[in-house]
A = this chain, B = another copy of it.
């Protein structure tokens, strides 16, 4: 059983450490109090992580669950080109979770929080009758009017993606086939500890290089479709240009979720470095006036259907 609520909050407060500059009041009152930098606007995201849907206790160590919970939120902040200020965590814990598991969760969570100097500024703790629930909320900031949104892509823009795709979904497939053994093989997998691309997002935003951006959480085919729908345009992708993780086939690289890489578009007049903050950046296609997403495979062109993750979708 976790510690009693008050003792647990006191423990989390100790682990959270001193609040950062923008956080006037952290854990311990009815609300946290934040003072964003002058001339900045705020970006806010929430991401729900549920046992049985997003992770399994027998596959994912507590450290990974805590890390990934925050990483998912930070990845959305990266996709706006913003800098994270504070995180808020709502945690539902069943009676059968051990105190060591709670500690492991916060170990992973705080490791990532400290890496990007994000203050854990508040949240809620409750007993869950039915599995672990972790909802993350992250607030970031950036100069007024400068957020990079999904709707700014223009026909003729080049499409770029960071890193290599498919490793996370490939690991999930391995876990489904081989269970926990698969996890043991690769504790450093991006499936367990995805690094949010905050520096890349901030680099692109600060230099006004990207016309639109999204993080790859649902899969390239689905997330590119989001950009096209919001920007009222289409896209063509060249399969051989899509960077795929070692040993990953194109189906998983194109449709697999949870890569947490960045997908963005830029005017062809802009020079995009082949690497930003140590992360490779690949050109994979272009934005078209004609709607729909196409995949060019050698001499053939076919429709790329959005087959990434969607909750409650009838299969």
Contact = CB atoms under 8 A, between A and B. Distances in A.
Contacts of A312: 1-5, 8, 93, 95, 127
B126 A53 contact: yes
Interface residues of A, number: 74
A121 interface: yes
Most buried by B among A31, A32, A36, A53: A31
* Number of copies of this protein chain within its complex: 2
A200 interface: no
A19 interface: no
A92 interface: yes
B129 A50 contact: yes
Interface in A131-158: 131, 133, 135, 137, 139-140, 144, 147, 149-151
Most buried by B among A34, A44, A53: A44
B41 A124 contact: no
A48 interface: yes
A153 B311 CA distance: 48
Contacts of A89: 46
Contact of A31 (B1, B25, B52, B80): B80
A36 B42 contact: yes
Contact of A35 (B41, B122, B131): B41
Most buried by B among A30, A32, A122: A30
A31 B313 contact: no
Interface in A142-191: 144, 147, 149-151
Interface string A98-133: 000000000000000000000001111111111101
Contacts of A125: 48, 311
B48 A91 contact: yes
A124 B80 contact: no
21 contacts: A4-B312, A4-B313, A5-B310, A30-B76, A30-B80, A30-B150, A31-B76, A31-B80, A33-B42, A34-B43, A35-B42, A42-B42, A44-B121, A46-B135, A48-B135, A50-B126, A50-B129, A50-B133, A52-B129, A126-B311, A127-B311
Given A52-B128, A53-B92, A130-B130, 16 more contacts: A3-B312, A4-B314, A25-B149, A28-B230, A29-B80, A30-B45, A30-B77, A31-B140, A32-B43, A32-B45, A33-B43, A44-B139, A45-B122, A46-B135, A48-B124, A90-B135
3 smallest beta-carbon distances between A and B, as pairs: A130-B130, A52-B129, A31-B43
